């Protein structure tokens, strides 16, 4: 019995926006596709609670945190989980279950790509 | 007759988010106030049409553009104006009327502040 050529049943879903998508905002007008991808990332950070959770994960020791570490933002744990899911869907966080808890980690390539979007070229002030 | 000590009647409204508000996202968890300010900026860029308009202004010759220059994003001119107003309210654009047209310009200090938010410290990957 051979188990080569078996298609993997569950392919890990790549983060929606993990790849750098776009030139700096000041370089040229974005295409519709570029704008879709970049707007998804900005939108994910466009909520105060989500932004606090994101900075809590990003600044936590070792660059990762579980829900148990970051629940002091004044909302219920289901709400925290909901927002963390949104950040994951936007490709800004990755997650891994270990025992009881799910650990979240910032996806550095995405943050770097977003930082690049906002970088000014040499011509700009 | 003295006109010292007269309170200015119309103080120009400072751009809502013109001042750098926050440390890098990776430095420490954001406070509620910091998150409010930063989320407002991210949210303004969290719409594909708004992002295309913003990059159209940001990349236009001389760093400024009027509605007449940037209306090829597939939405009506009132919609364009609506989105430009939102970007202005978030402190990302400034505007100036000259004759028939209103000219929009990117507020570089705000973009720089947003870029700083996304900057990684030396410890991060």
Model confidence pLDDT, tens digit, residues B64-110? 998 888 877 888 888 998 999 999 998 899 999 999 989 999 987 88
Residue A13's contacts (CB-CB under 8 Å, 6 or more residues apart) are none
Which chain B residue shows the shortest CA-CA distance from A113?
B118
Q: What is the mean pLDDT of residues B102-122?
A: 78
Q: pTM value?
A: 0.76
Asked, for residue A58, whether it belongs to a domain, the answer is: yes
With contacts defined as CB-CB under 8 Å, which chain A residues touch B90? none
Residue A47 has pLDDT above 90, yes or no: yes
Q: For position B20, what pLDDT does the model report? A: 62
Which chain A residue shows the shortest CA-CA distance from B22?
A55
Range of the domain at B44: 26-118
| CA distance linking residue B64 with residue B78, whole number of Å | 19
Asked, for residue B15, whether it belongs to a domain, the answer is: no
Tell me the per-residue pLDDT of B20-77, one tens digit each, with 9 for 90 and over. Answer: 678 888 888 999 999 998 999 899 999 999 999 999 999 998 889 988 888 778 888 8
Tell me the per-residue pLDDT of A58-113, one tens digit each, with 9 for 90 and over. Answer: 999 888 998 888 877 888 888 998 999 999 998 899 999 999 989 999 987 887 88
| CA distance linking residue A115 with residue A111, whole number of Å | 6
Note whether A109 and A99 are within 8 A (CB). Answer: no
Q: What is the mean pLDDT of chain B?
A: 80
Q: Which residues, numbered 61 to 100 in chain A, qualify as contacts with chain B under a Cβ-Cβ cut-off of 8 Å?
A: 63, 70, 73-74
Asked, for residue A125, whether it belongs to a domain, the answer is: no
Closest-CA distance, A11 to chain B, in angstroms, reads 26
Q: Any chain A CB within 8 A of the CB of B38?
A: yes
Note whether B65 and B104 are within 8 A (CB). Answer: yes
Residue B54's contacts (CB-CB under 8 Å, 6 or more residues apart) are A25, B45, B87, B92, B93, B106
State whether B118 and A119 contact (CB < 8 Å): no
Q: What is the mean pLDDT of chain A?
A: 80
Q: Domain count of chain A?
A: 1
Q: Any chain B CB within 8 A of the CB of A19?
A: no
Q: Where residue A66 sits, what CATH number does that domain have?
A: 1.10.10.10
With contacts defined as CB-CB under 8 Å, which chain A residues touch B52? 29-32, 35
């Amino acid at each position: 019995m051979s188990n080569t050529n078996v298609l993997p049943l569950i392919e890990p879903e790549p983060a929606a926006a993990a790849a750098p998508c776009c030139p700096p905002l000041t370089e040229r007008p974005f295409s519709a596709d570029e704008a879709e991808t970049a707007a998804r990332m900005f939108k994910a950070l466009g909520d105060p609670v989500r932004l606090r959770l994101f900075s809590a994960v990003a600044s936590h020791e070792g660059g990762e945190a579980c829900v148990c570490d970051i629940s002091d933002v004044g909302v219920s744990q289901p709400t925290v989980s909901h927002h963390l899911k949104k950040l994951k869907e936007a490709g800004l966080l990755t997650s891994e279950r270990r025992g009881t808890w799910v650990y979240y980690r910032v996806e550095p390539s995405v943050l770097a790509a977003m930082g690049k979007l906002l970088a000014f070229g040499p011509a700009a002030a």
